[in-house]
Amino acid sequence: MDAISVIRTKRDRGELSGEQIDWVIDAYTRGTVADEQMSSLAMAILLNGMNRTEIARWTAAMIASGERMSFDSLSRPTADKHSTGGVGDKITLPLAPLVAACGAAVPQLSGRGLGHTGGTLDKLESIPGWRALLSNEEMLRVLDSTGAVICAAGDGLAPADKKLYALRDVTGTVEAIPLIASSIMSKKIAEGTGSLVLDVKVGSGAFMKNLEDARELASTMVALGTDSGVRTVALLTDMSTPLGLTAGNALEVRESVEVLAGGGPADVVELTLALAREMLTAAGLPDADPAKALADGSAMDVWRRMISAQGGDPDAELPVAREQHVVTAPASGVLTRLDAYDIGLAAWRLGAGRARKEDPVQAGAGVELHAKPGDTVTEGQPLLTLHTDTPEKFGWALEPLATACDIAPAGTAFTASPIVLDRIS
């Protein structure tokens, strides 16, 4: 085998053989195939695609590059959730303890934010003392004692994906659907969960901007999971508007705790419950009632135990940004659009996100929303509050917000998009 022949096969719209795929993934992981060669292959895949057989073999090769975990020692069925990323997407925080409170075990391996999309680990690290990095033994111990764990994936889990993801990020090939699907599913299958629910975001604040691309990605991932023996279902959910009323780190933790306390924004509660029902059904617990677990405080109890088990203090004060700036409504009427991408970009520029994986983030930075599409607003009333420790960033963050909203005349009829747009199984 040699890298040039593999590249030429896909460049010329051919089908990669299983042997070619196994060899190139292994060789790249070991450093035999150079970054510029793998980036050329990734671009050929972006432009010419892969069929189901190729994607399945590519995913299997990435899984084989590292270890596979097992939760067979647990007394509960396992269920996991993966989101393709969005703005204000704090759903994992209330969802994991909620599903655990209903009887499943939730081994949630999560990531960090990059660009305009937030990262679950960044959000939780705003809680004093909380640790994202756990050994496999610690992860199992927390999962066994509390029913849920949210942590970073270990270095031994699909190392080929970790190396390839970093390359795709700097070579303009992140959007390749075969590579997105195999990246997500290699880690989830290697993780060893028994069932998986995928939250595939659609809209301006998501990687998938339209339903057609989102359905293709969801169908590809569901097929990969099913073929590997993991019960997998996908929900396509709206990401044209931020979820909830906050986009940031500590800001989103506060909102998540409100949901666990029985309150919180209606859209966050609705999506949390929809995903919880899918996870519980996939785990063989269709009669469990997640709404009851939110109302009676049992989900909050699991949250507190989970945070404490990972070194965090669930009673500690969360960080607050030193500076705020209020953005007011430019006119009176009905707010008909609040663009998720623009809000996410502003939060990132304020310090809530990062441009590179090694960049630090501000725990208190972000954007607070005072209205959502469908609300009536009055000229001059607070529409958004920007939070940051570095006020010199306000001007940079305000740039995308200049075109982030539309306000129609008072009395204009408005119909909100449903949160769940489709279901793929």
Give the model's pLDDT for residue 358.
Answer: 73
Give the model's pLDDT for residue 15.
Answer: 98
Is residue 268 within 8 A of residue 86, CB to CB? The reply is no
Catalytic annotation, pick one of 81, 116, 187, 215 = 187
> Strand 376-377 to strand 333-338: parallel, antiparallel, or no bridges (unpaired)?
antiparallel
Domains in the chain (CATH in brackets) are: 3-49 (1.20.970.10), 80-309 (3.40.1030.10), 323-408 (3.90.1170.30)
Catalytic annotation, pick one of 161, 199, 238, 342 = 161
pLDDT tens sequence across 231-262: 999 999 999 999 999 999 999 999 999 999 99
Q: Among 361, 402, 353, 401, which residue's Cα sits nearest to residue 88?
A: 353
pLDDT band at 165 (very low <50, low <70, confident <90, very high): confident
Catalytic annotation, pick one of 65, 83, 126, 183 = 183
pTM, rounded to two decimals: 0.93
Whether 298 sits among the annotated catalytic residues: the reply is no
pLDDT tens sequence across 407-416: 999 999 999 9
Share of the chain above pLDDT 90, in %: 91
CA distance 68 to 90: 27
Average pLDDT over residues 348-359: 84
Catalytic annotation, pick one of 10, 82, 112, 305 = 82
Residue 268: what are its φ and ψ, rounded to 5°?
-65, -45
Whether 187 sits among the annotated catalytic residues: the reply is yes
Share of the chain above pLDDT 70, in %: 100
Whether 370 sits among the annotated catalytic residues: the reply is no
Task: Give the mean pLDDT of the chain.
Answer: 95
Torsion, Cα 149 85 179 345, to 10 degrees, reads -130
CA distance 231 to 26: 28
pLDDT band at 207 (very low <50, low <70, confident <90, very high): confident
Q: Looking at the DSSP assignment, which residues form a beta bridge with residue 366?
A: 248, 387
Q: What is the 3-state secondary structure (H, E, C) of 358-394?
A: CCCCCCCCEEEECCCCCCEECCCCEEEEEEECCHHHH
> How would DSSP label each residue in 403-420?
TSEEEEPTT----PPPSE
CA distance 216 to 177: 8
Assess whether pLDDT exceeds 80 at residue 355: no
DSSP class of residue 150 equals: E
> Strand 382-388 to strand 366-369: parallel, antiparallel, or no bridges (unpaired)?
antiparallel
Whether 72 sits among the annotated catalytic residues: the reply is no
Average pLDDT over residues 82-98: 96
Whether 10 sits among the annotated catalytic residues: the reply is no
Give the model's pLDDT for residue 162.
Answer: 87
Average pLDDT over residues 380-399: 97
Catalytic annotation, pick one of 116, 163, 168, 349 = 168
Distances (CA, A) of 192 to 149, 227, 367: 14, 14, 36
